[in-house]
């Protein structure tokens, strides 16, 4: 099977790839977002601690 045939998904390319695409986007966001927020929070807390605040 060639790449073009695979990508075409029997004519349903738009539906199939949008479905998979949005799925992976949502799943990715749900993992990356908390990681980024946690890193940001850690940075803020460290800064606050350095300034002697609590």
Partner 1 sequence: MSVIPAPVGRFFHKMASPPHFYALAERFIPWLTAILLLLLAAGLYGGLYLAPSDYQQGESYRIIYIHVPAAWMSLFIYVLMAVMAAIALVWRMKLAEVMLIASAPIGAGFTFIALLTGSLWGKPMWGAWWVWDARLTFELILLFQYLGVMSLYGAIEDKRSAAKAVSILALVGVVNVPIIHYSVEWWSTLHQGPTVTKMDKPSIHISMLVPLLLMAVAFKFYYLIAVLQNAKLELLKREATSQWVKTLLEKSA
Positions in the binding site for partner 1 (CB under 8 A): 1, 6, 9-12, 15-16, 18-20, 22-23, 26-27, 29-31, 34-35, 37-38, 41-42, 45-46, 49-50, 54
4 or 11, CB closer to partner 1? 11
Please tell me the distance from the alpha carbon of residue 12 to that of residue 23, in angstroms, as a whole number: 17
CA quadruple 9, 11, 12, 14: dihedral sign: positive
Nearest approach in angstroms of CB 4 to partner 1 is 13
3-state secondary structure of 33: helix
Please tell me the distance from the alpha carbon of residue 46 to that of residue 54, in angstroms, as a whole number: 10
Nearest approach in angstroms of CB 39 to partner 1 is 10
């Amino acid at each position: 099977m060639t790449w073009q045939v695979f990508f075409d998904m029997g004519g349903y390319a738009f539906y199939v790839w949008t479905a998979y695409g949005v799925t992976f986007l949502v799943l990715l966001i749900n993992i990356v977002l908390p990681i980024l927020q946690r890193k940001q929070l850690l940075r803020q807390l460290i800064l606050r601690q350095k300034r002697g605040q609590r």
